[in-house]
Structure 1
Amino acid sequence: MPTLELKNVSYAYEKGKAVLQNVSGPLETGKMYAILGPSGSGKTTLLSLLGGLDVPTQGSVLFDSEDITAKGLEHHRRNHISLIFQSYNLIDYMTPVENVRLTAKLDAAPILERLGLERDEITRNVLKLSGGQQQRVAIARALASDAPVILADEPTGNLDADTAEEITAILKESAHAFGKCVVVVTHDREVAKQADVVLEIKLGHLKEREYK
């Protein structure tokens, strides 16, 4: 049974421009999905709909076969979803350890160090870290959460190639070893190659594609 499911989802901006048209499909536990498409094709919009940050113009998003609006979008976001934003969305007066503790009951230090942060860096204010380091904190916060779904918007965009490869492997491990449903919006070919399923948005439609 899919963890998340899109059912005839369409989305249009206020001026009437259709971004997504009658999109349907399952997103299953234990798999990593990559969503591809040109800029402006609706990738981030789709991620927002899956995460309950927005609602479809038509159709519905289901979690465990129930419409996510049934118990409220806030309930969905709080209990089911862990988000990795392009803009990090860290609490800027906190340290990396404190940011991760917002979503996790476990010790934050090991996962931050696994993502390449040094011991002295994890106790600094996040504003004193580089963009790449802040991105790692955002990823650590998502990985440490108990939420069954990880939604990531260009998670490797500010990272060097070696770190991006390591982060991708950790996201994939989160799906395979820890039973998460991982959905990654990306332009990175190497990230897409590592995904179990590659989906492409083209002219408002979502289709599975071969990608090797």
Structure 2
Amino acid sequence: MSVLELQEVAYSYDKKKKVLKGIDVQMETGKMYAILGPSGCGKTTLLSLLGGLDSPTSGKILFNGTDIEQTGLGRHRKKHVSFIFQSYNLIDYMTPQENVRLTAKKPALPFLERLGLTKEESKRNVLKLSGGQQQRVAIARALASEAPVILADEPTGNLDEDTAQDITEILKESAHEQGKCVIVVTHSGELAKQADVVFRLKKGELHIQN
């Protein structure tokens, strides 16, 4: 059974510009999905809809067979999904450990160390970290969450090649070993090659890329 399902989902800006057109797709736990497409095609919009940050103009988004609008978008965001935002969305007056503890019941430090931060760095204010380090904190926060779905917007965008590969392996492991549904919006062909399913979003339509 799919954990997330889109049924005829469409989205328009200001009820004029149609960004998404009648998307039907099912996504399962235990798999990593990559969504490719040109800039401005609606990839981040699609991710926002899956995470309950916005509502479709028409159609439904189901979590475990239930419309997320019926159960409440706030509950969906809190219980079902964890985000890796392109802009990090960290609480800037907190340390990395404090940011991770916002979503996790488990100790934060092992997640941060696994992503390459030292114990000392994990206690600094996040604004004193580099952009790449802040991105790792954002990833650690999502990995530490018990939510069954991870939604990642360009998670390797600010990272060097070796670190990007490490992050990709961790995301794959989250899907294959921890049984999560990992959905990644990316421009990286290398990351997409390692996904179980690759979608391409073009002209408002989502297709599986063979």
Work out whether the TM-score is over 0.5: yes
TM-score (norm 2): 0.99
Identity of aligned residues (%): 70
CA distance in 1 between partners of 2:202 and 2:75 (Å): 31
Determine helix, strand or coil for the equivalent of 2:59: strand
Aligned ranges 1:25-174 → 2 under 5 Å: 25-174=25-174
Cα displacement (A) at 1:139: 0.2
Aligned positions, number = 210
State the AA in 2 paired with 1:10.
A
Determine helix, strand or coil for the equivalent of 2:206: strand
Residue 9 of structure 1 corresponds to 9
CA distance in 2 between partners of 1:118 and 1:78 (Å): 28
Determine helix, strand or coil for the equivalent of 1:93: coil
Q: Name stretches of at least 5 consecutive residues in structure 2 with no aligned partner.
A: none
CA distance in 2 between partners of 1:97 and 1:151 (Å): 21
CA distance in 2 between partners of 1:55 and 1:120 (Å): 41
Cα displacement (A) at 1:71: 1.2
TM-score (norm 1): 0.98
Q: Name stretches of at least 5 consecutive residues in structure 1 with no aligned partner.
A: none
State the AA in 2 paired with 1:159.
L
Cα displacement (A) at 1:148: 0.4
Cα displacement (A) at 1:111: 1.0
Map Cα deviations across residues 28-85 of structure 1 (whole Å, 9 max, x no partner).
Answer: 0000000000001110000000000000111010000000011110010000010000
CA distance in 2 between partners of 1:146 and 1:111 (Å): 13
CA distance in 2 between partners of 1:106 and 1:15 (Å): 43
State the AA in 1 paired with 2:206.
L
CA distance in 1 between partners of 2:178 and 2:15 (Å): 42
State the AA in 1 paired with 2:146.
D
Alpha-carbon RMSD across the aligned residues, in angstroms, is 0.6
Q: Which runs of 4+ in 1 moved over 4 A?
A: none
Determine helix, strand or coil for the equivalent of 1:190: helix
Map Cα deviations across residues 169-191 of structure 1 (whole Å, 9 max, x no partner).
Answer: 00010000001000000001111
